[in-house]
Amino acid sequence: MTEFEDEYSAGLEGDFQELRGALLSDTINTLSPNEPVCLTETTTVHDAVVRMLAARQPGVLVVNRDGRLSGIFTERDLLTRVVGRDLDPGTTPLAAVMTRDPEALTARDRVCYAVNRMSVAGYRTIPLVDEAHRPVGIVTIHDFIKWLAHLFPEAVLNLRPGDVIKRPLEVDAG
């Protein structure tokens, strides 16, 4: 192995250590959570979808009279609980099809905990709340992918599917 290859390997190892450290120490706030779209339980599915499209978000948070989180309605809910049951989006209220009392995190929770919850529970969207359980943000699987892409070493990001990490002197011109 040449000195250049040793340097390259050491650089990659450093990049992976940086990723590991970020995963364990970064908070969800690092992901730059989006402002949530908050609606009431009486809002129709149609109106919720219009708001989701306008905000380019995969879901809306449902709040009670006190502004506290009471539910979440996502694209998945639209498919499985509305379209899949042949309900009328124009007359169906969110209360009938939302996920009640969803698990919520805070912006101070660690990224690794959020990734664990998404993996174990199968979430794609997680509401963020303050101490009074009022929505303050929303994070999606897309936010985590952007965060990873920003942290991950360029050498890995540029690999084609099925490729392995190559040493610089082994890379061919083809």
Q: pLDDT tens for residues 84-101?
A: 999 999 999 999 999 999
Mean pLDDT of 146-153: 75
Tokens 């897309």 sit on residue: 142
Q: Is residue 37 part of a domain?
A: yes
Residues 62-69: contacts with CB within 8 Å, 24+ apart? 62/38, 62/94, 62/95, 62/98, 63/38, 63/39, 63/134, 63/135, 64/40, 67/38, 67/134, 67/135, 68/132, 68/133, 68/134, 69/102, 69/104, 69/127, 69/129, 69/133, 69/134, 69/135
* pLDDT reported for residue 23: 67
Residues 6+ apart with CB under 8 A from 174: none
Question: How many Cα atoms occupy the beta-carbon half-sphere of 86 within 13 Å?
Answer: 0
Question: Is residue 88 in a domain?
Answer: yes
pLDDT at 149: 76
* Higher-confidence position of 4 and 45: 45
Structural domain boundaries enclosing 73: 28-150
Q: Looking at per-residue confidence, does 22 or 147 come out higher?
A: 147
pLDDT band at 138 (very low <50, low <70, confident <90, very high): very high
Higher pLDDT residue, 157 or 131? 131
Q: Which of 138, 132, 126 is nearest to 64 (CA)?
A: 132
CATH number of the structural domain spanning residue 73:
3.10.580.10
Contact of 118 with 141, CB cutoff 8 Å: yes
The string of pLDDT tens digits covering residues 11-58 is 556 656 666 667 678 899 999 999 999 999 999 999 999 999 999 999
Q: Give a yes or no: residue 6 inside a domain.
A: no
18 domain-assigned: no
pLDDT at 163 over 90: no
What single-letter amino acid sits at 49? V
- Residues 106, 2: contact at Cβ < 8 Å? no
In a domain, 40, yes or no: yes
Instruction: Give the pLDDT score at 48.
Output: 98
129 in a structural domain: yes
Q: Tell me what the mean pLDDT of segment 66-75 comes to.
A: 97
Tell me if 72 is assigned to some domain.
yes
Give the residue, 134 or 173, on which the prediction is more confident.
Answer: 134
Rounded distance between C-alpha atoms, residue 13 and residue 72, angstroms? 40
pLDDT single digits (tens) 98-108: 999 999 999 99
Of 44-53, 60-69, 134-143, 163-172, minimum mean pLDDT range: 163-172
Q: Look at the chain and report how many structural domains it folds into.
A: 1
First-to-last alpha carbon distance for the chain, in angstroms, is 23
Let me know if residue 83 belongs to a domain.
Answer: yes
